[in-house]
Amino acid sequence: MTGRLIKYEIRSSIKLMAVIWAALIAASLLFSVSSNLLRRTFEGASQGANTLVSIVGTITGFMYISIFIALVAATVIIVILRFYKGLLGDEGYLMHTLPVKPWQLITSKGLVAAGVVLLSIIVAMVSLAILAGLSSLSVIPDIFSGIAKAWKEDPRYILIIVEVLVIMVLSLLKSIYQVYASLAIGQLAGKHRILLSLAAYIGLSTAVTVFFIILGMIAGSFDMVDLLSSWDGSAGNMFGLSQFVIAVMFGLTAIQLVAFHIITERILSLKLNLQ
Partner 1 sequence: MKTGTLIECFDVSKAFGSKLALNRVNLSVGRGKVIGLLGPNGSGKTTFIKLINGLIRPTKGEILIDGRKPGVYTKLIISYLPDRPYFADWMTVKDVLSMFSEFYQDFDRNKAENMCAAMNIQPEDRIKTMSKGTREKVQLVLVMSRKAQLYLLDEPIAGVDPAARDYILTTIINNYNEDGTVIISTHLISDIERILDEVIFIKDGKMVRHESVDEIKEKEGKSIDDVFKDTFRMEPFMGVNRNDR
Contact code string over 101-140 relative to partner 1, x by CB under 8 A: x---------------------------------------
Shortest distance in whole angstroms from residue 1 CB to partner 1: 7
Judged by CB under 8 A, the residue of 99, 141, 155, 233 near partner 1 is: 99
End-to-end CA distance of the chain: 26
Yes or no: say if 32 and 133 are a contact pair by the CB < 8 Å rule. Answer: yes
Q: How far is the CB of 101 from partner 1 (least distance, A)?
A: 6
- What gap in Å lies between CA 273 and CA 275, rounded to an integer? 6
Give CA–CA dist 264/36, Å, rounded.
50
* Sign for the pseudo-dihedral over CA of 112, 114, 120, 125: negative
Q: Minimum distance between the CB of residue 198 and partner 1, rounded to whole angstroms?
A: 22
Which residues are CB-neighbours of 201 under 8 A, at least 6 positions away?
178, 179, 182
Query: Between residues 169 and 188, which has the closer beta carbon with respect to partner 1?
Result: 188
Q: Which of 100, 199, 219, 249 binds partner 1 (CB under 8 A)?
A: 100
The one-letter code for the residue type at 230 is: S
Distance CA 139, CA 253 (A): 31
Instruction: Kindly state whether residue 266 participates in binding partner 1, applying the rule CB under 8 A.
Output: no
Contact between 272 and partner 1 per CB under 8 A: yes
By CB under 8 A, is residue 222 in contact with partner 1?
Answer: no
- Residue 254: helix, strand or coil by DSSP? helix
Decide: is 274 part of the binding site for partner 1 (CB under 8 A): yes
List residues binding partner 1 (CB under 8 A): 1, 4, 8, 11-12, 15, 85-86, 90-94, 96-101, 190, 269-274
